[in-house]
Amino acid sequence: MSDIVLQHLDRGLLTITMNRPDRRNALNADMTRGLVEAARRAAEDSDVRAVLLKGAGGTFCVGGDVKAMAVATPRPLEERVTTLRKGMEVSRILHQMQKPVVAQIDGAAAGAGLSIALSCDIRIASESAKITTAFAKVGFSGDYGGTYFLTQMLGSAKARELYLLSPVLTAKEALGLGMVSRVVPDAEIDKAAHELAMSLAQGPSVTLGYIKRNINNAETLSLEACFDAEAIHHSRCGETTDHKEASKAFVEKRTPTFVGR
């Protein structure tokens, strides 16, 4: 486990922290490797029921380390493409894993940092956070899935605007567009994000995973294929201990206690 990407597991919630505060958590080779490893661990470890992704030092992630890029030794195109594609796996894994993922956005989410946040299921932002695609301003077209996620989320017209013009959005502006789910005062962001993520970690984990799969299916599959998958997933959830507990709690007029099975 790398110190540049911290992992902490508590009662089913895996908190992944990008830990490069001196560079506002800009992505470098060690950071991207650590993020992919942490995301894979989250997807594969049965003790992990939900994920909270955040940045150290009051900033989520400002994207790639542009200063380092400016002095980097030139490499062949094929090598650069392969390296970038490996790092981009973090966005795919977070988006597709059958576990809910919450992004805590404070300070700034820019470039690839924003792309990674968009790959998560829920984004909660602090009032002073700044959000921007940023790529066009540094001569890049975009990576880590941001164009895909924004197009799916907001439609192609708004995605074109946000990428071509690269405005810096306030948290409230991002909320108005639907890019974030909630905005809270700066002093409350840690508590609010943790409580939200922990509530998901204590939820009916099998069911939440299938809800996420249903929605991911809806992005690419036909109506009939989505219906077929929904029928299978819904029936599987009906077999879980958590469904039986929820049904019993409903009859007994109490709050259910979920165990993730």
pLDDT tens, 39-55?
A: 999 999 999 999 999 99
Q: To the nearest whole percent, how much of the chain has pLDDT over 90?
A: 85
C-alpha gyration radius of the chain: 19
| Helix/strand/coil for 65 | coil
Phi, psi of 15 (to 5 degrees): -95, 120
182-184/122-126 β-pairing = parallel
Assigned token pair, 128: 């002073």
Indicate if the pLDDT at residue 260 is higher than 90.
Answer: no
Length of the chain: 261
If one counts every other C-beta atom within 10 angstroms of the C-beta of residue 32, the result is: 23
The identity of residue 247, as a single letter, is: S
How far the first Cα of the chain sits from its last, in Å, is: 28
Indicate if the pLDDT at residue 1 is higher than 60.
Answer: no
The pLDDT score that the predictor gives to residue 93 is 97
How many angstroms separate the CA atoms of 260 and 220, rounded?
A: 28
Domains, the chain, ranges and CATH? 5-201 (3.90.226.10), 205-251 (1.10.12)
CB 42 within 8 A of CB 14: yes
pLDDT tens, 151-184?
A: 999 999 999 999 999 999 999 999 999 999 999 9
How far is it between the farthest Cα atoms of the chain? 67
Assigned token pair, 102: 């919450």
